[in-house]
Amino acid sequence: MSQRLPTYFISHGGGPWPWMPDMAAAMQPLSHSLSDIPRQLGQTPKAVLMVTAHWEERAFTLGTNPQPGMVYDYGGFPPHTYKIVYPAPGAPALAQRVQGLLEAAGIPVAQDAQRGYDHGTFVPLAVMYPEAQVPVLQMSLRAGLEPAEHLALGRALAPLRDEGVLIVGSGLSYHNLRAFGRAGQAPSQAFDAWLQAALVAAPAERTQHLLDWEQAPAARQCHPREEHLLPLMVAVGAAEADTASCVYHEDAIFGGVTASSFRFDAA
């Protein structure tokens, strides 16, 4: 039997940064944190379930293509970044397992056999598993972006942790495209300080804090639209009674913005 795996909320960085030398150099702390995840796990997962901030549907939707293509959901980057291929196999059997878990929990679920990996999925995974050997199930957020629904999704997915599946919520702890650099410095610091405190609180308090996240300092300055925060809710819901630890933190990403990533496990 596989050891129970932790869950993660990762800040996935900006655009196709690993394939751009200047951006990759600037994001070395993020790169190191992502590439260290396999070591932290101590085992190769049977699959990664990636809940991506870059996909929203009316119902939580599962990518079921056995060999997904690519979705280049960014603009203004060099031509070579639109030829990137991350050839990890899909996980259609896992999609069926997830659909069963969600249906049993009364959560709307759908499948999409056409959609490829978006950059919320392939960018961090290319750093975590550059050989693309681990099957990947990509999953959408649900339109409406209700925190309670995404926490409930995480709870329904929790049994997968005992089945060798690594659950990852891929977003950004700060995501205001109009306020990077100095404009984002103070708001991101304030929100990150709240996030650190909220996530290390007792599990019951942590859940309530996340449900009320809009009351946090500079919440809407940091997340004018919360799609990059909602993957955190899924990671927490799947490890609601577990300990939180910060596995990535820096104050200089995007020209001075504070960003973090978190791990949730029983250790």
Tokens representing 263 are 């791990």
Q: Which of 211, 250, 249, 204 is nearest to 232 (CA)?
A: 211
Burial of 240 (0-12, 13-18, 19+ CB in 10 A): middle
Domain regions of the chain by residue span? 7-265
pLDDT band at 96 (very low <50, low <70, confident <90, very high): very high
Choose the CATH number for 7-265 among 3.40.50.800, 3.40.830.10, 3.40.50.970, 3.30.2010.10: 3.40.830.10
Tokens representing 94 are 């896992």
**28-71 pLDDT tens trace:** 999 999 999 999 999 999 999 999 999 999 999 999 999 999 99
**103-124 pLDDT tens trace:** 999 999 999 999 999 999 999 9
**189-207 pLDDT tens trace:** 999 999 999 998 778 899 9
Q: What is the pTM of this model?
A: 0.97
Q: With contact defined as beta carbons under 8 Å apart, do 10 and 121 qualify?
A: no
Tokens representing 96 are 């069926």
**DSSP label at residue 165:** E
Q: Are strands 7-11 and 165-171 parallel, antiparallel or unpaired?
A: parallel
pLDDT score of 245: 96
How far apart, in whole angstroms, are the C-alpha atoms of residue 57 and residue 86?
23
pLDDT score of 177: 86
Residue 4 has pLDDT above 80, yes or no: yes
